[in-house]
Amino acid sequence: MLEVVLFIREGRSMKAVQSRLNNRRRSWWGLPISAALLATGAALPHEPAVSLQPLQLADIDINIPVIVVPRGRTQIDREVTVRFIARGDDWATIYLDGNFLFRAANTRRTYSVTLEPGAYYLEITGITRFDSWGAGYLDVGRDDANIVVVRYGQDTGIQVAGNDQIWFPE
């Protein structure tokens, strides 16, 4: 096929190309060349020129710590919304880290605050600070919970919904 392309590029006619190919098919001159090539290939040595030896490595133990990073999940420090809901009709006062936060009176019984991740000391009392209903640490932002609900009352104490590891009472 390559010969046909070469003859056509030289400008010969198709009839001349066909007669040239027919003449080549009739001749047997390609047989001695192929026999000579096969004979020289048989005379080549069977062993490689360079002897192959196994690679000797040093006996070294390398301990590399493996750190697995989960895909699609990054550590994001996001703010947590804490919602305080008063139970009962008693007035209550909420202190966060010793500071006044909210007083639940007659009409306003719920309160929401947004906190940064961390631990906060929560104390819920009656009207005076001497009437303590409960106190402890509120640890927010350590897991995926971004909403924490704190229910409190004089008879029920403090109950936290969102995660079991958020509320640590005194």
Per residue of the chain (170 residues), give pLDDT as tens: 444 444 444 555 555 555 655 555 555 555 565 555 555 555 555 565 555 566 566 666 666 777 777 666 566 668 899 999 999 888 999 999 999 999 988 888 899 999 998 899 999 999 888 888 999 999 988 777 788 999 998 888 899 987 778 889 98
CA 151 to chain centre: 36
Region for residue 154 given its phi and psi (left: phi exceeds 0; alpha: psi -120 to 50; beta: otherwise): alpha
Question: Residue with structure tokens 């590891």?
Answer: 165
pLDDT at 115: 92
Q: How many Å apart are CA 158 and CA 149, to the nearest integer?
A: 10
Q: How many Å apart are CA 66 and CA 84, to the nearest integer?
A: 43
Both tokens assigned to 132: 């303590």
Domains and CATH numbers, the chain: 2-42 (no CATH), 80-169 (2.60.34.20)
SS3 155: coil
Q: How many Å apart are CA 138 and CA 121, to the nearest integer?
A: 6
